[in-house]
């Protein structure tokens, strides 16, 4: 069974530029999560989707961050404009349903210069 796929794996941009991350969850998984992982820290939830619906986006900085999950499968997380403090690893995870085990992708490491 293929795992959670994320791309790109690495991204280097200058501050104020936009950036987008893509996630393909495990086939059949209805729940999708985006996490932020700062260096030396545990992941922190940004947003959770149940199918196409964002059911928990309370931790998403909505002034510059946006996310979508069209057709309830793939998801995109966008930052516009990026700031220096956004440098981190952005992890995507999926689970068959809410409350079930989450499977994490390898993450996208973002560096903002």
Partner 1 sequence: QQQVKQSPQSLIVQKGGIPIINCAYENTAFDYFPWYQQFPGKGPALLIAIRPDVSEKKEGRFTISFNKSAKQFSLHIMDSQPGDSATYFCAAVVQGAQKLVFGQGTRLTINP
Interacting residue ranges for partner 1, rule: CB under 8 A: 4, 31, 40-45, 48, 56, 91, 93, 95, 98-107
Minimum Å gap between C-beta 86 and partner 1 is: 19
**How many whole angstroms separate alpha carbon 32 and alpha carbon 48?**
6
Nearer Cβ to partner 1 (47/82):
47
Nearer Cβ to partner 1 (28/98):
98
Minimum Å gap between C-beta 92 and partner 1 is: 8
Phi/psi at 24 (5° precision): -115, 110
């Amino acid at each position: 069974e293929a795992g959670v796929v994320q791309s790109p794996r690495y991204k280097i941009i200058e501050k104020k530029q936009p950036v987008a991350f893509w996630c393909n969850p495990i086939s059949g998984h209805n729940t999708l999560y985006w996490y932020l992982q700062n260096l030396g820290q545990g992941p922190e939830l940004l947003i959770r989707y149940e199918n196409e619906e964002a059911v928990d986006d309370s931790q998403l900085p909505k002034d510059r961050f946006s996310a979508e999950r069209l057709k309830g499968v793939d998801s995109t997380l966008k930052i516009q404009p990026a700031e220096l403090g956004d440098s981190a690893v952005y992890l995507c995870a999926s689970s068959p349903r809410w409350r079930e085990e989450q499977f994490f992708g390898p993450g996208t490491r973002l560096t903002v210069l």
